[in-house]
Structure 1
Amino acid sequence: MQKIARYLLQDKILVVSASCACIGLTCGRPQMSDINWSTIENLFSLMVCVQILQSFQILNTCSSQMLHHSANTRQICRLFILLAFFSAMFLTNDVAILTLVPMFINLAQQQKIETAYPLTLIVIAANLGSALTPMGNPQNLFLINFYHLNITTFFKLAAPLAGASFILLMFFCTFLPNQPIITHHRNKKVIKWPAWLLAGGLIAINLGGIFNLVPKQMAVIVTVVCGWIIDRQIYQRLDYALLLTFVCFFIFVSELNHNQAITQAIQALIQSPAAVYLLGLITSQFISNVPTVILLAKFTQAVPALFLGVNIGGLGSIVASLANLLALKQLIQLNKTTQIRVFIKVFTWVNFLSLLILGILGFFYLQWR
């Protein structure tokens, strides 16, 4: 029991979310029915799926191949950014960051690359790339479950943001450091086709479960059984603190929703899609985009505005997205304390610039559509 408590208390994000849930008791009394267990269930299944994918070392192999085929540091940084963008669509932004950040930092040390700017773009790429798929980030999962979106509706919402994000990232990539590659470290591990087939099948069945194309319980059971057969140690590596963090978020938002003054203020503020969009952007900067979408969804049917608001709202402050905090936590865990101040400075400038650009584009897109 002490070991479990120590493990949970070491997760600062969980501690903060649990503290918010406790403080929120002064605002209102939460209801267990307000916890979206379907989202928690989907998140658990995806976490198992991701651990299975990681056990196949797909990302490690890809990064090794990228280094082998890169002629300079700009190319390798760009490839890491692209890998973050596209892998986050299927492995979630959190997992993309947890996997790629340590790999990139180690590579940057070998190649003597200044990490702050490329690392910032990797985090931004993971956040923006994850917006294209329902499994990419928790706010998308919640929106699909809460509004019962079908697959066509969802991708119509996500595609314009993904396209604009990709163009913006490629523009930022032109400012990456451009130095010759010092050495090549090639991983000769070959991933056999059954592993690729199983990985694709698990992603497909989880996607089907999210969109109710197959029974959700079946998707969860198949994923859990596959994980148990492939590697039972998977269940020791799962980030249970992340699941508890989202439970705390649901509780905190439930407390706010049961405070009459807060609900009246929100209802007064979100009288139009533009207001929903702007409130999503702004609120995310202070309480993160996942609690924001949970808080606002109850009061609006303006799904496009809310979707864009919370996904673009993941840019900006260091607390705007859990993925941002995870990247910072990775730096701390890797004992890169001398780089943290520089990283936060660069991260803040580039993120707020990205927020400004995409925020303006998103606003005019909502007016146009």
Structure 2
Amino acid sequence: MTSLLRPFLHDRFLHLLVILGLILACFVPFRLADLPGAVDWPTIITLCGLLMLTKGIEASGYFDVLGRRLVQGFRHQRQLALFLVAAAALLSTFLTNDVALFILVPLTLSLRKYSALPIARLIIFEALAVNAGSLLTPIGNPQNILLWRHGDAGFVGFIWQMLPLAAWLVVSLLLLTACCFRAKKIEQHETQQTPPWEHRLLFASALLYLLFITALEMNLAIWGLLLVFVTFLILARRILLSIDWSLLVVFIAMFVDVFLLTRLPLIQSSLHLAEQLPAGGQFLLAAGLSQVISNVPATILLLSSLPPSVLLAWAVNIGGFGLLPGSLANLIALRMAKDRAIWWHFHLYSLPMLLWALISGWALFLFIYAA
């Protein structure tokens, strides 16, 4: 019981969200019955399932096997960093940004057992990479799903309109990665052998992973989650006790806080003026609003005033960079890292990336669509 409560007691970010929610509740008219509807429960169910499945694979010890092979397969830190960033960007295009992080971040954490690597910096760049890569496809992230369903572009058409920005930002990020990681030889720790791994737990987790993703696609997420939970309850109960359940409460608190924030009179009046802004103003509004309430809620709000245009799609995806709330993927990556310093270091790279994406993205938009 103590191990379950400890994350909640020591989670300063969760405490901050609760305090913010209580303050907002003093100034916003709402009913308690409205709060459950403010939470995106499909997202919570998806995260819950992924938390259990990733912990299952991690507990099997197979990430240690892959980590050792990665360390042995690359000679220099820059090569390894470029590989992980490219992998994060690629996986996020068709597995979604959060799934890509649930695969790569635990793998990256396992690398420190075998070598002296800047693990925190690698995770930061993986978070930036999934934001850049996931913007390419309609299924890469939640805001793209919303824009695709509300718009007229087909699946291929959506990819085509996002391709210039995605390609530009991924290339920019790879260049930044090459600059921020030295061509320093990877120094491997002296280890006798790779620890044994549990084949049964790995195969069960991998099979459940496929079944859970299939259940999500068939809108049977709650049944998929129940299958995962019951299987681990029978097969490896220790996994359920070692999961950071406070992450789910953090997301629930974020959804409630965003709901209360958007009911402030100032926010409501600003949204009515959005359609009267010039294209540049709408671009900055969408990216800026994403910084405060995250790009998925920002997309939902702005779709009530603005059409699901290319401009809106580019802006809210660019808004995933910058401040931590810009994208929920940022929060997932940094929480999994379990490093207090990483929260500050993240912004040393994400804020310059936001500025670069805003300036170059707007110039690219004008060149392609305003010509």
TM range, normalised to the smaller chain?
Answer: 0.7 to 0.9
How far 1:263 sits from its partner (Å)? 1.6
Report the residue type matching 1:351 in the other structure: M
1:47 paired to 2:51 = yes
**Alignment-derived partner of residue 347 in structure 1:** 349
User: Structure 2: how far apart are the matches of 1:238 and 1:307?
Assistant: 34
**Alignment-derived partner of residue 86 in structure 2:** 82
Alignment of 1:322-337 (within 5 A): 322-324=328-330, 334=339
User: Structure 2: how far apart are the matches of 1:219 and 1:233?
Assistant: 20
Answer yes or no: is the 8 Å Cα contact 2:321–2:351 preserved in 1: no
**Alignment-derived partner of residue 17 in structure 2:** 17
Report the residue type matching 1:43 in the other structure: L
1:203–1:85 distance in 2 versus 1, CA, 3 Å: farther
How far 1:178 sits from its partner (Å)? 0.9
1:320 paired to 2:326 = yes
User: Structure 1: how far apart are the matches of 2:118 and 2:3?
Assistant: 38
Answer yes or no: is the 8 Å Cα contact 1:84–1:122 preserved in 2: yes
Answer yes or no: is the 8 Å Cα contact 2:322–2:347 preserved in 1: no
User: Structure 2: how far apart are the matches of 1:146 and 1:20?
Assistant: 32
1:190–1:261 distance in 2 versus 1, CA, 3 Å: closer
**Alignment-derived partner of residue 64 in structure 1:** 68
- Deviation digits for residues 21-67 of structure 1 (CA, Å, limit 9, x no counterpart): 22221133252333332332233223223223333444433222111
Report the residue type matching 1:248 in the other structure: A
User: Structure 1: how far apart are the matches of 2:153 and 2:235?
Assistant: 32
The DSSP-based 3-state class of the residue aligned with 2:273 is: helix
Higher mean C-alpha displacement, 49-58 vs 236-245: 49-58
Q: TM-score, normalised by structure 1?
A: 0.73
Alignment of 1:168-183 (within 5 A): 168-175=172-179, 176-183=181-188
Query: Where in structure 1 are there 5+ consecutive unaligned residues?
Result: none
**Alignment-derived partner of residue 123 in structure 1:** 127
- Deviation digits for residues 247-269 of structure 1 (CA, Å, limit 9, x no counterpart): 22222222234344422311211
- Deviation digits for residues 301-326 of structure 1 (CA, Å, limit 9, x no counterpart): 51765554333212123453455456
1:246 paired to 2:251 = yes
1:264–1:362 distance in 2 versus 1, CA, 3 Å: farther
Answer yes or no: is the 8 Å Cα contact 1:8–1:14 preserved in 2: yes
How far 1:299 sits from its partner (Å)? 4.7
Higher mean C-alpha displacement, 172-181 vs 95-104: 95-104
User: Structure 1: how far apart are the matches of 2:237 and 2:220?
Assistant: 24
- Deviation digits for residues 101-132 of structure 1 (CA, Å, limit 9, x no counterpart): 6445666xx44x66786554333124334556
Q: Calculate percent identity across the aligned residue pairs.
A: 23
Q: TM-score, normalised by structure 2?
A: 0.73
How far 1:236 sits from its partner (Å)? 2.0
Higher mean C-alpha displacement, 150-159 vs 254-263: 150-159
Higher mean C-alpha displacement, 187-196 vs 30-39: 187-196
Answer yes or no: is the 8 Å Cα contact 1:139–1:290 preserved in 2: yes
Answer yes or no: is the 8 Å Cα contact 1:92–1:130 preserved in 2: no
Q: How many residues align?
A: 359
**Alignment-derived partner of residue 288 in structure 2:** 282
The DSSP-based 3-state class of the residue aligned with 1:281 is: helix
Give the RMSD, CA atoms, in angstroms.
4.5
